[in-house]
Structure 1
Amino acid sequence: MQPKERQISLGKIALAIIVAVVVSSAFWFGANTTTNLVPTSVLSTSPDYFITQVTVKKFDQEGALVETLNAEQTLHYIAEAKTILEKPSVERRIEAGKWQAQADKGLIEDGSNDILLTENATATKQHLGSDDIRLVADNVHYLDKDQTLTSYGNAALLSTQGETSAEEITTYLHSEEVLMTGSVRGKYETIR
């Protein structure tokens, strides 16, 4: 290679390096690392994950089925420590019988066994040795610690004896006890 050709080659290499540095610098300084494709406000209110067509089964230590939870979709929000359920249905078996409930929506807080069913909630309690009772309300709340189903918001209890409405109706799962509070009204059939 002659000195003139070597000089042209070195010039081309130097030009290529300068172009690469300029392009890289333009890209590096032009890229804003704080720019998100989705606004932060949207991300903070979005679920961190969702699952569709959910079936969860819970068993006791002897392997007997205790609870079945079905939902069309679950949406988990880690910032709020909760899971929203779409079209949930729950069936829980207890020694005294079982209960079933469903609604349009539901909520489970992280670390809790309580289930809040909202929007067109219904629950049926089947207690051994007695007739079934049905709770209908805007909301039905299963409290695991108390072993109760509490309905509120247009709450009504339907049984073979008739219909009772109240602001809040609580039924204890291990007994036939029902507690009604606030403006209790009823319609009953007479026994002939």
Structure 2
Amino acid sequence: MPTVKQFERHLVAAGFPGARVRNTAASLIGGQVLPLSEKRGPAPEKLKPKHVADWGIALCLNEPLRNLANATQNYSTLKSPDGDRAGDAIAAILENFGKAKSQIQDGVKDSRSLRVAAREMNKRVVIDTSFPSITIATETPNGVKETRYGPIQDQPSSFIRVLHTCTISGHTLAHLAKALYDDATA
């Protein structure tokens, strides 16, 4: 798995502005959300799926850099009605893509991991940047299935307000997972 420095280019390739990626990384490292990848010694800390999930959340938030680590932790720990945390759910999506990638490399044509990853491509993570809420939506043959994380979980907010959201598609998550699990950056 790559270090923070090695992974920055993949976030830029996914469409996030380069300066924002670098500044967000510095803020999250300072807030101990991301590992310090340039620590002294021969083995710098590597990124894990949870780190990439939190970094993706942070890139979507419209917070000053000094508050970004705390805001990221607040969003990442939002809970669904089942008690699952948003950051863990996004990390699980990345892990599912990682399992499928290794099976594809091993020549497996059909497996549970590959079917799960195919379903993950139909997901999107919608982060409400003005109200602490994350929705993971899955396109199914029967319509959209949504899992909401945050204080209002059963339905969209009933009060009238302007929504400011950031969406991370399943395709983007697959791209990031491929980079995370790529042996060349290890």
Task: State the TM-score, normalizing by the size of structure 2.
Answer: 0.25
Structure with more contact order per residue of length (Cα contacts < 8 Å, sep ≥ 6) = 2
Query: Could you say which structure has the higher helix fraction?
Result: 2
Query: Could you say which structure has the higher strand fraction?
Result: 1
